[in-house]
Structures are given as C-alpha cells and as structure tokens.
Structure 1
C-alpha cells in the first residue's frame, strides 16, 4: 500500500492553527469553595454587614440550613461579585417549601430585595407548594428560570427532603441551568429575546431586573426550611 506524507510546511501550519485555536479558547478559573462546611465565612445578609448572631441561617451537618422561628432572616449573599461563572451546589427543600438561587444581585440601597435585580433558579417542593401550578407551563417549578421560561426538561427535581444537584452557567451573555444532570433552562441574559421574556413575566417594568452583568449570588429566605451544601464556583 502506498503511503502519502504531508509536506513539512503543511504539518507546521496545522500545528500552528491548533495552537492558536487553543489559545483563543476562554480560560476557566480554578474551582473555588463558597462554603467550607463549618461556617458562613464569605457570606453576609443582603444589605447588612456580616451575619447577625441571631440569624436563621445556620450550619448543620455540613450544610447551610435556613430555620424557621423568631430569629433574624434575610437572603444570604456572597461577599464577592461574580459575572461569568459556573456554579455547582446541592439543595434540599422542606415539605411545601420554597427558596431560590439568585444571581447578578445588586446591593444598591434603592433595591429592597435580591429578586428585584437578580434572575432566579427556582428551589421548590413541586408536589406541595402552590407556586408549582402558577405561572405558565411550569416556569415556577424547581430548576426553572423563575416565571420566565418553560422547563426544557420538566419534572427533574427529586421529592422534598431529598438532595438535588444544581448547576448554573453564566457566560458571555448566555445562561444554562441544570438540575440532577438535566438541562432545565437556556437563555440569553440580555438583548431582544431576554427583553421579551421579561415583558411576559411578573418582572415587567421592574427598573433594575436583569440589568446587571455582575453581582452577588443569593440563597433566598422564603420563610421555609431549606438546605444547601457542596457549593463551589469557577469564574469563566
């Protein structure tokens, strides 16, 4: 069988092209732990300096737990702002419970809640909480882009009391949301399509909603017990 050899210059060109293509790919930062499993270091209550001593957010059995009672509440937010990132965590919700993972949150004092600026990945007991049947086509169920997009894969959540693995990727104006390995949402974070989604949601006319390209990541206080663990992030 006759063998054909590529000219040396052609081989060099191929190698150079591959090298340039690799260099052009976006560099991913290293994974960083957002929760050490023991303390709330790196977090604070939305628009408050640090964590109050009587906070409802406690650490139990290696998880951040929101408890009910007479203690101080408020959404828990990261100390650091994030723009393009990949976030992974596990969450568990109580029976009939509701919470959320909210990103690109502004702490400008004119905004009184994290959800006034940040889009939300829903955390919910789909079987018992009425929000699951509100909205349109399941856009308020667990894992969904809250009130804005029909789930690509419905019913991906595990029942209340069981751990769910969530993944959120925000990169260069695009977002993807996953729950238990299944893609739930995919959407642009700005532009005409995003504007149309906002206009068809409860957030229509909200001044700062979805307008920030960087911001805090928030774990929502919705007055129901919820747990989060194994929280890590890498910047893109």
Structure 2
C-alpha cells in the first residue's frame, strides 16, 4: 500500500518540528529555501524495505539528494545513509565525475547512463531498497543497481570519506532524508510503498 508523505510526515534533522525557516511547503510541494540554514528534512517514520517515489526539480547548477536508511544518531545524515545524488550535471562541477553525477550512489557507484535534467523542470525519481539490494530510478528507467553487501563496494567504502563513520550504509532500516544543499530544490508527489 502506497503512503503519501505530506508535510506532517517530515521534520527537521535533529528536531521535532518542520523547519519552516529552511523549507516551504505549499500544496504538497516542498522547496528548500536557497541561502537559508541547511536543515535536511527527515521522515518521521523509519523504513526497512520499500519503494520511495518522488518528483524533483533543480535550479540551474542545482545539487541535492535523497538519503535512505539513515540513523539520526549521526551528526549529519550523509554520515549514516547512502545517497541518491540529484544534480544538474551540465551546470555543476560534480557532473564531470561519474560517481557524483545525477542518479549516482553518491561518491561510490556511477549510474549506468546519464540522465540530464532541465532546470526547474520536474522529473520522476525512485529509490527501491530490498535487503542489501538498492536501485535508483530516474525518468522511468533504471539508473543504478547495487548490492550494499558486495565486497567490492564495501572495499570502496573503506577507501572513501565514509570510512570515518562506523556503520555507514550498514543499517537494515532507517529514515528517509531530503537534502538541503543550499539550492532551491523542489520535491512533490512523495509516496512510499513498504515492501516488507
């Protein structure tokens, strides 16, 4: 059963309230306020296995992400949960590096093909998580498939900046996070379908 994730299903990172100084929510659409304090949105509920569907729009050179299975005991969300990178590859320097371009498992695994975005135009995204298997979908097609238990990926994590954070990408459940990266990213039509 799909569950719509409206404003009442989200709160600020390390806070119980919705961070209205950093995010607007109008008619079911969330917009990060550019140049406001960078407070991520975290789902009130935690999830184990699921399909998380959403639409997002980035400004020119925009950068954001969707993180999952996040442990809020971490100082920052990216210290805990893996991230589906959302990026205007053409306008942002990270778009020149395959493992940090749009749809990547951020800084770890490149997407199978590029998915360009047009500034301010919504496209559909989806994260599927089942056990240790993850999939990132963009514009209705599979962008990336990975196994978080794959020894090669674990070795890559151990050589990355994430090695400093115990348990990174190892949780079997956790929260969703919409990243505030300082740009006016917009999200809408957010829903989750638990698959436990």
Bin for the TM-score computed over the shorter chain:
over 0.9
Is residue 99 from structure 1 mapped to residue 58 from structure 2 by the alignment? no
1:47 is matched with 14
Structure 1 CA distance for aligned equivalents of residues 5 and 153 of structure 2: 29
Decide whether the 8 Å contact of 1:157 with 1:180 is kept in 2. Answer: no
Whether the 8 Å contact between 2:33 and 2:184 is mirrored in structure 1 is yes
Structure 1 window deviating more from structure 2 (180-189 vs 76-85): it is 180-189
Please list every run of at least 4 consecutive aligned residues from structure 1 whose deviation after the TM superposition is greater than 4 angstroms: none
1:227 deviation in Å?
A: 0.2
Q: Normalising by structure 1, what TM-score?
A: 0.78
Which residue is equivalent to 1:32? 3
The question of whether the paired residues in 2 share the 8 Å contact of 1:143 and 1:157 is answered with no
Say which SS state the counterpart of residue 8 (structure 2) adopts. coil
Query: Which sections of structure 1, spanning at least 5 residues, go unmatched?
Result: 1-29
Structure of higher CA gyration radius: 1
Distance of 2:27 and 2:90 partners within structure 1: 26
Of residues 155-164 and 41-50 in structure 1, the stretch that sits farther from structure 2 once superposed is: 155-164
Distance 2:156 2:133 in 1: 14
Q: Distance in 2 between matches of 1:107 and 1:62?
A: 25
Q: CA deviation at 1:202?
A: 3.1
Give distance in 2, aligned partners of 1:78 and 1:62: 15
* Larger relative contact order (Cα-Cα within 8 Å, sequence gap ≥ 6): 2
Distance 1:73 1:149, change over 3 A: closer
How far is the alpha carbon of 1:191 from its aligned partner?
A: 4.6
In structure 2, the partner of 1:64 is 30
1:157 to 108, 113, 116: 116
1:213 maps to what in 2?
A: 172
Residue number among 171, 174, 177 corresponding to 2:133 in the alignment: 174
Any conservation in 1 of the 2:101–2:110 contact (CA below 8 Å)?
no
More strand by share: 2
Question: 2:94 matched to which residue of 1?
Answer: 131
Which of 76, 94, 102 is the aligned partner of 1:142?
A: 102
Are the aligned partners of 2:133 and 2:147 in contact in 1 as well (CA < 8 Å)? yes
- Specify whether residues 190 and 48 from structure 1 end up closer, same or farther in structure 2 by C-alpha distance, changes over 3 A only: same
Cα RMSD (Å): 1.6
d(CA) in 2 for partners of 1:51 and 1:86? 23
